[in-house]
Amino acid sequence: MKGIAEAVTGLERQLQQASELAGATGMPGVGGYLAGIYHAGQQRVICAGYANTAARIDMTQDTGFPLGSITKAMTTTLVMRYVERGEIDLDGAVTAYLPDLTLQTPGHVDTLRVRHLLNHTHGIDGTGLMPSAVRGRDAVKSYVDALAGCGTLFPVEQFVSYSNPGFSIAGRILEVVTGIPFTELLERELYEPVGMADSATSAEQAIMRRTAVGHTLDRRTGTIRPVDLFALPPSGAAAGSTAVVTIADLLAFARTHLANGRSPSGRRVLSAEFSALMRTVTHDMQTPNIPPIGYGWWLLQFGSTVAMWHIGGTPGCTSHLIVLPDYDFAFAAFGSGPGAPLRHERHTLWLLRDYLGLEVPVTVTFDAATSVDDAAKLAGYAGTYRTLQYRHDVRTVEGHLEHSVTFEPMDSDHARLGAYAGGPQPTKLAPVSNGIFAPADRPAESFTGPFGRMNLVSFHGTTPDGHPSHVGRALALARRDT
């Protein structure tokens, strides 16, 4: 078996090559980068670039960074601790804990069970919701209260669609059961027993130590600059808006799950039974762009082994965690700037293939003959699909499909997020198989890793007139509007 030093050398070489390609400005589209590897009892962290390019603050191994949605795996771990204690029932009705929970779709809340919150099968259309008016103890409650203005995308368990509401509701259930605000509970019931001593739960805590900020592309100058918004509102804390961690602490969390719920210090955080339950498939969409889901973990198949995976995003930042129990291996990474996902993808594939020696086949092949056999079938996919604050337009253009996404803020409070939502850039799609399409300007190999697969576009369900009812991209679905 190869040693961890070889893995570190390989990643450092890739980072150096990327920096050389970009010249003195650093890696293409990246302000700073952190990566950590744990393998069979050994652990190393490497860093490159800046935590803040404007202030010229170097990225260091102990720099904290906004975690984003990897927090969802931590929220799930917290819920499972209370399920194990008998204080929360996975099959219990959500309204038993939150009787005032309301949605616009009549009767939907009555069908919700706690487990639906943890595997993205709840169907609530609210992932773009991020109210900011309330801070402090009632922040998470304010998120759940705001769901009264949201509808649904599909009936419970019909599909899997990545979203924030389920975990915000789960966070609120934890608050109601314990009487403790979510961020305090995260510190007490997860950070402390796992040994995440350098992690924070708020921007106020993070500012007291070296912390990386997000970066974006300045379109006027063509250079990378810090973003204007450090963190998302605290109302989404349980879904990933406020946690700030270090690579070493994130690896400690990964190692706890590698050890079936026992932390690196030897403390029991979760039983082996419930740790295994989190990585057991609960729903499989049977499509390459939305992997099978356990509880809190996406589950990726590489040959005969299964990897637990999650990503996180906050303004200008992307975090990444992949955990392979069969190999006692975990890779954690953070990058700021639009080029970070590509770095995560390349490093992950190199580690899987070249370091661990796993078989990672190309996910898709372009096959127009089996995908779309006439213009009428192609036109059937066309239409407008919507999810809260996002409009997906699918059109037929000169014999192919074109897909674009437009951000439509629901109010002035959410409009500030528009700068990080991106503009409606139409993407020409090429058929892969029935109901699956890929950006036509990219080679099939670019859709092999977990990040690349999210760029695939899939169509699901059927309307009464025979058209697809939903479109899927980046792990999430939107419902046909017209």
Domain parsing of the chain, residue ranges? 1-360, 368-480
Nearest to 32 by CA among 46, 20, 11, 21: 46
Nearest to 371 by CA among 464, 481, 456, 253: 456
How far from the centroid of its chain's Cα atoms is residue 388's Cα? Answer: 18
Give the pLDDT means over successive 10-residue stretches in the chain (482 positions): 83 79 64 96 95 95 98 98 98 98 97 98 95 94 97 98 97 98 98 98 94 91 89 96 98 98 97 98 96 98 94 96 98 96 95 94 68 72 96 93 94 78 79 91 91 96 96 97 90
- Residues with Cβ within 8 Å of residue 192, at least 6 apart in sequence: none
Quote the pLDDT of residue 218. Answer: 86
3-class DSSP state of 181: coil
In the CATH scheme, what is the code of domain 368-480?
2.40.128.50
Query: Please, how many CA atoms are within 13 Å of residue 289, restricted to the half-sphere of its CB?
Result: 26
Name the pTM for this structure. 0.95
**1-360 carries CATH number 3.40.710.10:** yes
Q: Token pair for residue 244?
A: 């700030």
Quote the pLDDT of residue 219. Answer: 81
> Alpha-carbon dihedral of residues 60, 64, 68, 73, nearest 10 degrees?
100
